[in-house]
Amino acid sequence: MDNARKFYINGEWVDPISTDTIAVVNPATEEVFDTIAAGNNEDVDAAVAAAVAAFPSFSQTSKDERIALLEKVIEVYKTRMGDIAAAVTSEMGAPSGLANGAQAPAGLGHVMATLKALKNHEFEEVIGTTTVVEEPVGVCAFITPWNWPLNQIMCKVAPALATGCTMVLKPSEVAPLNALIVAEVLHEAGVPAGVFNLINGNGLDVGVPLTSHPDVDMVSFTGSTRAGVSVAENAAPTVKRVTQELGGKSANVILDDVDVAAVVGRDMFGMCMNTGQSCNAGSRMLVPNAMMDEAIAVAKATAESIPVGDPTAEGIAVGPVVSEAQFLKIQALIQKGIDEGATLVTGGVGRPEGLDKGYFVQPTVFANVTNEMTIAREEIFGPVITILGYGSEEEAIEIANDTEYGLSGYVSSADHDRAVAVARQLRTGMVHINGAGGDINAPFGGYKRSGNGREWGLHGMKEFLETKSIFGGTVKTD
């Protein structure tokens, strides 16, 4: 694409200071189809300087001005939906139906949800004789992943714009092209120069200098827990605000009063959406021991019915995983499951039959898994589900909470109140009841090593605000 070898800094597409490049690989073909510029610390300095210079004026814009800006972003984004979806399919392998139906619309949805929150939010309140004011936190650094790229970019960019912050984005170097289109959208929408800046590059050369930069006030990071620890360490010396959405190993608690065929089939298919590359995927399926045989049979049949292949082909539900590195990691974890004694029900190592090229993984089901096994504890990030048995409801809750993660959870029961009661006992930031989807207006985020802070809607917007008390600052009236 035209701007692949450039960065967006201070309202312009500029040549990078660094001469390094990174190849963009189509995971379905394993072929390089584009090349992006790769930045360094000098590029970071230039982008941060632009954001710093833009902050004094943009932070003072009115709520109405920011509402109008978000409305324009929505208008322009809609015109580029097809381009965005095509980029996501090419660079990270999302099937076309998913890219057009969920990946590209996710970004648009976050701008719309933020606009709603902005319209309904008051940034000042009076407490006695004190005026309490919410103000933009400042210059923000965003590092976003490749698995739901538009979702993660726009749930950071939109609230930053809504609150009057300025920002520098480093998207994933694995799937960077969709972010360049976002920059084009923001430019056309009239985002003022310096408010939004974009630099491509790897974590060491761009991520580290960006998250440790003394002129950055806040870091919002989405990615692995390992990388999140590094980001927090980089930010700590300058006491930046840090919000993180990290890994997950979410439990899916299936209670003993459900229709096993319906629930297990639904959740097995759902786990494989986006090729299992979702941090909140219900990858640990907890099933009553008495229902185990039926659950295994349903999971097996469902996994074997899921169409895997060329993400541009009609009817494909599962495309490739994003890269060779991810493919090899998943293959190693599948083999680890076999080696540690879990029962391989279907799938396994190697590509699906008939696919000899591309980073395709077989939809895989493991049974007779214990919660001490590697595949029950580590995030696999592929279309692999582990089925664990339990004896009592109390044991199910104990197993579900026995993890270092706490991003999401799932509970299914014919008794809605029972499901909610179990959900209240799970140590996770979110719980889905009986297959309920996420709510773009509600907070998204986790407990424990799944991160801190919240994204989406009003709660996400408030992460970008500082609170100031002006004592004796109320307006005097006669």
Active site residues per annotation: 245, 279
φ, ψ for residue 267, nearest 5 deg:
-80, -30
Beta-bridge partners for 388: 286
Closest CA to 98 of 85, 110, 84: 85
Sequence-separated (6 or more) residues with CB below 8 Å from residue 262? none
Closest CA to 194 of 174, 213, 168, 215: 168
DSSP secondary structure of 157-205: HHHHHHHT-EEEEE--SSS-HHHHHHHHHHHHHTPPTTTEEE----III
The answer to whether 273 and 98 have CB atoms below 8 angstroms apart is yes
Helix (H) or strand (E) holding 171: none
Tokens matching residue 169: 């984005």
The answer to whether 216 and 139 have CB atoms below 8 angstroms apart is yes
Pairing status of strand 364-367 against strand 409-412: unpaired
Beta-bridge partners for 241: 218
- State the Rg of the chain over Cα: 23
Tokens matching residue 129: 């004789």
